[in-house]
A and B are shown apart, each in its own frame.
Chain A
Amino acid sequence: AQKITQTQPGMFVQEKEAVTLDCTYDTSDQSYGLFWYKQPSSGEMIFLIYQGSYDEQNATEGRYSLNFQKARKSANLVISASQLGDSAMYFCAMRDWGNQFYFGTGTSLTVIP
Chain B
Amino acid sequence: DAGITQSPRHKVTETGTPVTLRCHQTENHRYMYWYRQDPGHGLRLIHYSYGVKDTDKGEVSDGYSVSRSKTEDFLLTLESATSSQTSVYFCAIKGSSDTEAFFGQGTRLTVV
**B-binding residues in A (CB < 8 A):** 4, 6, 33, 35, 37, 43-45, 47, 50, 52, 91, 93, 95, 99-106
Provide a sorted-by-A list of 28 A–B residue pairs whose CB atoms are within 8 angstroms. A4-B42, A33-B98, A33-B99, A35-B101, A37-B103, A43-B88, A44-B103, A44-B105, A44-B106, A45-B92, A45-B103, A47-B100, A50-B100, A91-B42, A91-B43, A93-B101, A95-B98, A95-B101, A99-B31, A100-B58, A101-B33, A101-B92, A102-B45, A103-B43, A103-B44, A104-B42, A105-B41, A105-B42
Does more than half of chain A's interface fall in helix, strand or loop, or is it mixed?
strand
Chain B residues with CB under 8 A of A103: 35, 42-44
**A4-B42, A93-B101 known; 20 other A-B pairs, CB under 8 Å?**
A6-B42, A33-B98, A35-B101, A43-B88, A45-B90, A45-B106, A47-B100, A52-B98, A95-B94, A95-B101, A99-B94, A101-B45, A101-B92, A101-B94, A102-B45, A103-B35, A103-B42, A103-B43, A103-B44, A104-B42
A56 CA to B58 CA, complexed, in Å? 31
Interface size of B by CB at 8 A reads 24
A61 to B103, CA, bound (A): 19
Q: A43: which B residues are within 8 A, CB to CB?
A: 88, 105-106
Considering only residues 78-99 of chain B, those with a C-beta below 8 Å from chain A are: 88, 90, 92, 94, 98-99
Alpha-carbon distance A20/B94, docked complex (angstroms)? 27
Across the two chains, which residue of chain B brings its CB closest to A46? B103
Contact of A47 among B35, B45, B98, B102 (CB under 8 A): B102
B50 sits at the interface (CB 8 A):
yes
What is the bound-complex CA distance between A33 and B100, given in angstroms?
10
Q: A6: nearest residue on chain B (CB-CB)?
A: B42
B3-35 residues at the A interface, CB under 8 angstroms: 31, 33, 35
Whether a CB of chain A sits under 8 angstroms from the CB of B48 is yes
In the assembled complex, the Cα of A43 lies from the Cα of B96 at a distance in Å of 25
